[in-house]
Amino acid sequence: MLSSYKENFAQDGIYLSEGQLDLAKFAASAEGDFALVAPTSYGKSEIIIDKIKKNKSKKVCVIVPTKSLLAQTKRRLINNGSDNELNKIITHPDMYLNNQESFIAILTQERLLRLIQKFPDFTLDILLVDEAHNLLKGDDRAILLAQVLLITRKRNPNSIINFFSPFIADTRSLESPYLPKQLSYKKTEEFIKIEKYFSIDVQNNKNLELYDQFTNKFIPITGHSGTTDLIFVSKHKASKNIIYLNKPRDIENFSIKAATTEPERSLNKGIDELIASIAEYVHPEYYLIDCIKKGTVYHHGSVPDIIRLYIESAFSQQQYFEYIVTNSTLLEGVNIPADKLFILSPKIGNRYFTKPELKNLIGRICRFSEIFHSSTGSLQRLEPSIYFIKGQYVSNKANINNFIERSLRSDLVILDDIDNVLLKDIDDIEDSDEKSKAAESLEYLENIEPNTVDSNSVTYAQSIIAQLCYKNNVHDFDIKKNEEILKKNFAENLLFDINTSSYLIRAITLLFTRDIDILNEHFKRMTSPSVQRYYTILLQWKADALPFSQMVINLVNLWMSSDNPLIYVGNKWGDINYEQKKGSNGYINRNQKTEKQLINLAIVRTKEEQDYIDNYLVKYIEIINGLGLIENMFYNKIKYGTDNQTIICFLKNGFTIELAQTLTKEIYQDYITIDLETDTIIINPNIAQAMSENGENRILVFEVKYHIR
């Protein structure tokens, strides 16, 4: 019987469940568009990699939702490919060489749009959409994802689109009236794990209860008077635990509390190196370092990207760590080992978890690779424990048990919420606001790529400046409404040969804010002279390629040199409503903060401001460059932090500026082969050992391994 099982359910030396095997066979045999839906850890990533390897003679692109998942997907692909088996992996638009016959690309939708916009003849044969449930959302990124799918199909009507998701209730939810091909569909309903859900209200000293998802009843277990979130977690923890919180401020608050109450731990060499590396790369006073010393790491969108990858790896490999405290950054593709999940907030952003989102989070613990691990596996992990805690991070009005009932009952029918207007026929939309949004989205699509859809109501931009605004996906103002003003600003302001940060910021404000009705509140701040001076400084740091640690120090110094003690840090971190706007606490008083608090605020703000520049201001820089107004050398320095073509080649290949600068040292030249004409880099695997021996920061040694084939 066992030999029969091995024969029927083994694939490449790995034993699969019946559901996993069905998914693999379906994906291998399907030739057209399809959607594949399976729980977290069910092998979707392996199927994506298999698809890539079987189609390496074609033009293949994987769309991922985040830059961190981009790096993980690239690493996974390299690890699963033999030497020279795979083509150059494109992770940035600048890596593409026009008219390539075949390639593998791993891109976010923003990067794919840039590639589409930059090369009018760019086409794809196969598009693999990871975390495809994001397409159903109604935000700008979901609409942009739909737009690039439509453009891909328009440019190559024979292109194939495959969707992968842990939760889509109905395949038709992913179908767009503007994409005529029908999807084939495979979904597994296989239940291997049976979760145990617990609920406790520590605010009101209630009992710990077990929720029976099959009878929809709560069963009292024990009383817990006088406890707190942290005390309860500490009492019920496993060896590896995920703590979910919604807000970055709460994540750091809980982590710091854990660090102050957990007992001292004996540090090993690996932890000492981890601490020293982060201290050098970020700052010695980083809260994360205090937490690491007590066996805790935290993880949110304002942690530098490479640090997030580094601590995920450390948490996975070191038994030393007990807690990873995180928010929705964990929901997409992040695979870390954990046995228990503690949910200290039922919210994601400003709303409650949807049922599929909650299931996805729960699927992050007790993954199959841990359950069936040859040496550490345990079948007890087939019954993972999830704790919902109503404590200090939950509103007193919230009813956690009601939330559990409406989200986790076993007989619950889950339906897809389709909020993306490009997944609906505009003629069928009745809500006036939604209909207006659909018309706007189609107008953007047509102005990026004319004749993608049949629409008689589209107005095409006539001026080059408005056309570039559409192509760079600018949403800070109504482009159509402001086209004449944009033309006037361009004609009246004689801008040319821009070669300084101050001149560039002046150009952005003169062209895109003067007499324009700005919709985005953050971009509206650019009309303030003090904000313009601030971003002039930040752009100069980028042009000078300052290390992250130096930018943190510089930002603290900038705050301290200001005559005004009130500092803008954004609503995530502020505690003063200086602007007297409802729900706006975007400021702090620096005189009321310790030096360590200011340093840690500078760390998160440096990351957030660099993201703002890369994701928003760069759009305007690209438009201005498209108008021929920026000197080429300065454009390279603003975009890459250098005009050194070798370093730029590294950056195009996804290396950080810190690693790129390190690898251009003379001592590493024998380990690196660079072709500047094709922007190709080959790294000798022995370079990691050489970097370690030369005392390079362990974060850089960790990062270089992502690029070694």
List, as one string, the DSSP characters of 178-212: TS-SPPEEEE--------EEEEEETTTTPPEEEEE
pLDDT at residue 81 tops 90: no
Task: Check whether residue 485 and residue 596 sit in a common domain.
Answer: yes
Cα(396)–Cα(8) distance, rounded to whole angstroms? 53
Task: Check whether residue 62 and residue 114 sit in a common domain.
Answer: yes
CB atoms < 10 A from the CB of 326, how many?
26
pLDDT at residue 1 tops 60: no
Last residue of a domain, one of 143, 161, 187: 187
What are the phi and psi torsion angles at 138 (to 5°)?
A: -105, 10
What is the pTM assigned to this prediction?
Answer: 0.90
| Residue 632 binned pLDDT confidence (cut-offs 50, 70, 90) | very high
Task: Check whether residue 465 and residue 583 sit in a common domain.
Answer: yes
pLDDT at residue 126 tops 80: yes
Q: Please tell me the least confidently modeled range out of 21-25, 245-249, 510-514, 515-519.
A: 21-25
Domain CATH number, residue 113: 3.40.50.300
Answer whether residue 430 is part of any domain.
no
pLDDT at residue 225 tops 70: no
270, containing H or E segment: helix 269-281
| Residue 371 binned pLDDT confidence (cut-offs 50, 70, 90) | low
pLDDT at residue 5 tops 50: no
Task: Check whether residue 521 and residue 658 sit in a common domain.
Answer: no
Task: Check whether residue 171 and residue 225 sit in a common domain.
Answer: no
Task: Check whether residue 268 and residue 241 sit in a common domain.
Answer: yes
Reduced to 3 states, what is the DSSP secondary structure of residue 347? strand
pLDDT confidence of residue 158: 93
Task: Note the pLDDT tens digit of each residue in 653-666.
Answer: 889 999 999 999 99
pLDDT at residue 310 tops 90: yes
Chain centroid, CA 511 distance in Å: 31
Task: Check whether residue 621 and residue 652 sit in a common domain.
Answer: no
C-alpha distances in Å from residue 503, one per residue of 103, 206, 469, 535: 39, 62, 20, 11
Task: Tell which wins on pLDDT, 493 or 591.
Answer: 591
Mean pLDDT of the chain: 88
Task: Note the pLDDT tens digit of each residue in 37-57.
Answer: 887 766 778 888 889 988 988
Answer whether residue 296 is part of any domain.
yes
pLDDT at residue 298 tops 50: yes
Q: Yes or no: say if 355 and 407 are a contact pair by the CB < 8 Å rule.
A: yes
pLDDT at residue 364 tops 50: yes
Task: Note the pLDDT tens digit of each residue in 405-453.
Answer: 999 888 877 888 899 999 998 888 888 899 999 999 999 999 999 999 8
pLDDT at residue 374 tops 60: no
pLDDT confidence of residue 17: 58
What letter represents residue 382's amino acid? L
Task: Check whether residue 26 and residue 162 sit in a common domain.
Answer: yes
Domain count, the chain: 4
Cα(245)–Cα(252) distance, rounded to whole angstroms? 10
Angle in degrees, CA 591, 597, 598, rounded to 5: 60
Answer whether residue 372 is part of any domain.
yes
For range 273-292, the mean pLDDT: 96
Task: Check whether residue 577 and residue 502 sit in a common domain.
Answer: yes
pLDDT confidence of residue 10: 45
Q: Please tell me the least confidently modeled range out of 31-40, 189-198, 435-444, 626-635.
A: 189-198
For range 551-571, the mean pLDDT: 95
CB atoms < 10 A from the CB of 111, how many?
23
pLDDT at residue 284 tops 50: yes
Cα(441)–Cα(146) distance, rounded to whole angstroms? 10
Task: Tell which wins on pLDDT, 416 or 700.
Answer: 700
Strands 196-201 and 385-390: parallel
- Bridge partners (DSSP) of residue 129 are 63, 163
Task: Check whether residue 632 and residue 491 sit in a common domain.
Answer: yes
pLDDT confidence of residue 222: 81
| 453 Cβ contact list (under 8 Å, min separation 6) | 150, 178, 442, 445, 446
DSSP assignment of 33-85 equals -EEEE--TTSSHHHHHHHHHHHTTTSEEEEE-SSHHHHHHHHHHHHHTS-TTT
pLDDT confidence of residue 375: 60
Q: Domain of 662?
A: 644-707
Handedness of CA 317, 320, 322, 324 (dihedral sign): negative
For range 330-355, the mean pLDDT: 84
Cα(512)–Cα(509) distance, rounded to whole angstroms? 5
pLDDT at residue 380 tops 80: no
C-alpha distances in Å from residue 678, one per residue of 97, 98, 363, 649, 705: 7, 10, 41, 9, 22
Task: Check whether residue 273 and residue 181 sit in a common domain.
Answer: no
For range 333-349, the mean pLDDT: 86
pLDDT at residue 14 tops 70: no
Task: Check whether residue 217 and residue 108 sit in a common domain.
Answer: no
| 669-676 long-range Cβ contacts below 8 angstroms, 24+ apart | 674/646, 674/649, 676/645, 676/646, 676/649
Task: Tell which wins on pLDDT, 550 or 680.
Answer: 550
| 258 Cβ contact list (under 8 Å, min separation 6) | 230, 234, 291, 294, 296, 323, 325
- Bridge partners (DSSP) of residue 219 are 210
